[in-house]
Amino acid sequence: MDLNVFREGIKIDENNTNAFMKLMYKSAVGRFLLKPVTAVWVSKASRIFLDSRFSKPMIEKYVREYNIDLSQCEKSSFKSFNDFFTRKLKTGYRDFDMTPSVLCSPCDCKLTVYKIDEDSVFNIKDVSYTIAELLKSNKLSKKYKDGWCFIYRLSPNDYHRYSYIDNGVKTRNCYINGVLHTVQPIAVNRIKVFKQNCREFCMLKTENFGDVIQIEVGALCVGKISNLHEKHRYKRGEEKGMFEFGGSTIIQLFEKDTVMPDSDIFMNTIDSKETPIKLGEHIGKKL
């Protein structure tokens, strides 16, 4: 893309949230019901249905509602809704810029970026997170003070496969148990969703961007985070994994003086806007 083009952000507007989510997160009755609704077993039960042939009738309506172009997919016939949702695109529809100094997005998303302060804290609206809370590790927390936090929010209509951002070596996956709140702004702006939700993280020892922590965060109706590898030597743009149905989030933590996010993305974040991004699109540069 032309790096001089300013990408317009989308205002983070809770009024666009559906009625069910408003009930859950903005009413006393909904808050009372949150505990059972966000329990992991609820999403796992949903997944059993979405993995079955009985979920196939949902596909046609979903394609119409989100204007999904099935001609881009490797196949056009699916055995279940989740088979459709985790569909793979043909070569050429999500290409990485292979320039070593270019930081590309690992996924389709709505992107925001936040500076991590000297206390290893970043703030989303009125919600503060410490890196130690996210990773359950004080040692790792210190490594990322004064760095950057990139938050990639995937909506249901996004492509739900994600890729490695550079050549390098990854550590084993570390799973942290929790609940499954929605990752829509109505929840993120009120409670510590990323601290409470089930999540899985690893360290990506990259050739060009330092030691990057990548965290995949599950969400309501997402009963499974499917990473393809444990310890693994990877290539830039290689597929890393996928989410099953629903919204979900990827968080990446970068050390101090390793990357600089594109100015339009940072300015959109300051203006309480998310920047729509496709997998492989330029989002920053190596320092």
SS3 of 217-261: the string is ECCCCCCCEEECCCCEEECCCCEEEEECCCCEEEEEEECCCCEEE
Do the domain assignments include residue 135?
yes
Do the domain assignments include residue 1?
no
Residues 48 and 119 reside in one and the same domain: no
Q: Which residues pair with 212 in a beta bridge?
A: 204
Q: Which of 50, 85, 120 represents a domain boundary (last residue)?
A: 85
Q: Which of 85, 113, 129 represents a domain boundary (last residue)?
A: 85
| Secondary structure of the chain as H, E, C letters | CCCCCCCCCEECCHHHCCHHHHHHHHCHHHHHHHHHHCCHHHHHHHHHHHCCHHHCHHHHHHHHHHCCCHHHECCCCCCCHHHHHCCCECCCCCCCCCCCCEEECCCCEEEEEEECCCCCEEEECCEEEEHHHHHCCHHHHHHCCCCEEEEEEECCCCCCEEECCCCEEECCCEEECCECCCCCHHHHCCCCHHHHECEEEEEEEECCCCEEEEEEECCCCCCCEEECCCCEEECCCCEEEEECCCCEEEEEEECCCCEEECHHHHHHHHCCEEEEECCCCEEEEEC
Residues 46 and 132 reside in one and the same domain: no
Range of the domain at 43: 10-85
Concerning whether 69 is annotated as a catalytic residue, the answer is no
Do the domain assignments include residue 218?
yes
Residues 135 and 73 reside in one and the same domain: no
Do the domain assignments include residue 96?
no
pLDDT for the residue numbered 45: 77
The predicted model gives 205-233 an average pLDDT of 89
| 20, 154, 44, 163: CA torsion to nearest 10 | 180
Residues 138 and 71 reside in one and the same domain: no
Concerning whether 108 is annotated as a catalytic residue, the answer is yes
Residue 257 has pLDDT above 80, yes or no: yes
Do the domain assignments include residue 91?
no
Question: For 115-164, what is each residue's pLDDT tens digit?
Answer: 999 889 988 766 888 999 999 988 888 999 999 999 999 988 899 999 99
Residue 35 has pLDDT above 80, yes or no: no
Residues 107 and 233 reside in one and the same domain: yes
Residues 79 and 125 reside in one and the same domain: no
Place 55 in a pLDDT band, splitting at 50, 70 and 90: very high
- Residue 209 tokens read as 């961007």
Residues 6+ apart with CB under 8 A from 220: 37, 38, 43, 180, 181, 182, 183, 246, 247
Among residues 105, 163, 248, 262, which one is catalytic? 248
Place 40 in a pLDDT band, splitting at 50, 70 and 90: low
Residue 260 has pLDDT above 70, yes or no: yes
Do the domain assignments include residue 20?
yes
Question: Residue-wise over 67-93: b if at least 16 C-beta within 10 A, else e?
Answer: ebeeeebeeeebebbbbbbbbeeeeee
pLDDT for the residue numbered 193: 77
Among residues 51, 108, 158, 264, which one is catalytic? 108
The mean pLDDT value of the chain amounts to 86
Residues 128 and 162 reside in one and the same domain: yes
Residues 73 and 204 reside in one and the same domain: no
Residues 215 and 259 reside in one and the same domain: yes
Residues 170 and 265 reside in one and the same domain: yes
- Residue 84 tokens read as 């459709």
Do the domain assignments include residue 97?
no
φ and ψ at residue 8, rounded to 5 degrees: -70, 135
Domain count, the chain: 2
Do the domain assignments include residue 92?
no
Closest CA to 30 of 258, 187, 139, 167: 187
Residues 106 and 177 reside in one and the same domain: yes
